[in-house]
Amino acid sequence: MPQTPSRPEKGKTPSKTGLRSNQKQKAQLDRFIPARSGMNFDPATFSFLKENDQAQTADELLSPSKNAEYKNRLAEGLQLAENSSRILAFKKKAPPPPAGHENHIMGLYTNNHGPRPAKKSSRTLPTAPERVLDAPDLVDDYYLNLLDWGSNNSVAIALEAGVYLWNASSGGISTLMQCQEEDEYVTSVSWAADGKHIAVGTSSSIVQIWDADRCKQIRALKGHSARISSLSWNKTTLSSGGKDSLIIHHDVRVREHITAQLRGHALEVCGLKWSPNGQHLASGGNDNRLVVWELGGREPVHTLLGHQAAVKALAWCPFQSNLLASGGGTADRCIKFWNMHTGSLLNSVDTGSQVCALEWNRHEREILSSHGFSQNQLSLWKYPSMAKVGELTGHTARALHMSQSPDGTTVCTAAPDETLRFWNVFAEPAVATKKATSGGKSVLSSITLR
């Protein structure tokens, strides 16, 4: 007779068959973490702490002789000879540190005086001019422009009533011209781009064009009513600025040479400079104005009134076509940088003295300025930070005129101390240093122009 299955006890879950299993369920264990039920933590912790205390006590009570004996036996068991090298040591052990090295290192930290000073620039400036030429009777007038270095490597300098040429390649000196009228003197000079022709402005309001190779006058250009203070070439167009506040464009190829008369100044036009691309003309005047003209235009593009004194020093940037630098006279003392596209002032730096001339470095982002009282120095600046790189001294009167060599490495300055000085300021630092220190005679060789 089949048995009736018994009912499961109250509170117990029946199996699938409705019967309660009599087998014990298998413990769920982890491969890495043992079951706590098989671990006796309290006795194990007590034994571990007791064992460490005993070992520490035994080690402290162990005599030095027994400790040494233990180490010797251990070395013998490991087959290590006395004074042998370490196991798996492939090079000699470093020598022991000197006594007191811990205090020395501590001193390095306790005597910290702040951050390290900034690394000095490797830029080296010459300490003396490369060459000095005597220039007697140089007119002491801030508003004139009496020096220019042509593409033929010839320096033109106006000394009172005459213009003299010094060939920088051969060292030869020649007289270009002499004024014929009584009390007449030269007020400006400017080489044409071809290096064959030179324009000479005079106090008699006439611009003369000379053939430099033949030392012969080929044209006389009239139009001004006062002395010609500034000149600037743009291919076959010669622009002249006068004390009559006029700017005149001359086409030197035709008989009727005047192509335009520009009126943007109230006083003498003492600074005049065409941009390298020939698209804009910058003019500075004794009326403290800086005016920018466009090629072919009769009206100013910009009239800039930022300076507080006469604006003579002008320099277009060789690496940024819309950047113009200008320098002001004694009451201003500032170098200003302008964006010619917008006419906005980018930066202004107070140099502390009259700014006579400006020249950009064609190889680096630098600009050189020449100054008047009280140091009569040349100052080299980094652009655009306008951090001063250094100064060149030697002139005993204000360095009124400055011009750059065709290769862009050397700058010539002229001053009423009746000297021309040649500075190798834009060359590579090593070259500049070598030339500046290569013997006293070659550095300070003095030649009289006339």
Helices (H) and strands (E) in the chain, counts: 5, 29
117 burial level (CB within 10 Å; 0-12, 13-18, 19+): exposed
- What are the extents of the domains in the chain? 131-448
Q: Which CATH superfamily is domain 131-448 in?
A: YVTN repeat-like/Quinoprotein amine dehydrogenase (2.130.10.10)
Other beta carbons within 10 Å of 323: 20
* Sole residue written with tokens 């930066």: 347
Q: What single DSSP character describes residue 231?
A: E
Residue 330 backbone class (left: φ over 0; alpha: ψ -120 to 50; beta: rest): alpha
pTM above 0.75, yes or no: no
Residue 16 tokens read as: 């699938």
Residue 389 three-state SS: strand
Is the Cα dihedral 294, 192, 378, 319 positive or negative?
positive
**Local confidence pLDDT in tens for the 450 residues of the chain:** 455 555 555 555 555 444 454 455 555 656 666 666 666 667 777 776 765 555 555 555 556 666 777 777 777 766 665 555 556 666 677 787 777 655 555 555 455 555 555 555 567 899 999 999 999 999 999 999 999 999 999 999 999 999 999 999 999 999 999 999 999 999 999 999 999 999 999 999 999 999 999 999 999 999 999 999 999 999 999 999 999 999 999 999 999 999 999 999 999 999 999 999 999 999 999 999 999 999 999 999 999 999 999 999 999 999 999 999 999 999 999 999 999 999 999 999 999 999 999 999 999 999 999 999 999 999 999 999 999 999 999 999 999 999 999 999 999 999 999 999 999 999 764 554 444 433 333 333 445 666
Return d(Cα 268, Cα 282) in angstroms, integer.
14
Q: What's the alpha-carbon Rg for the chain, to the nearest Å?
A: 44
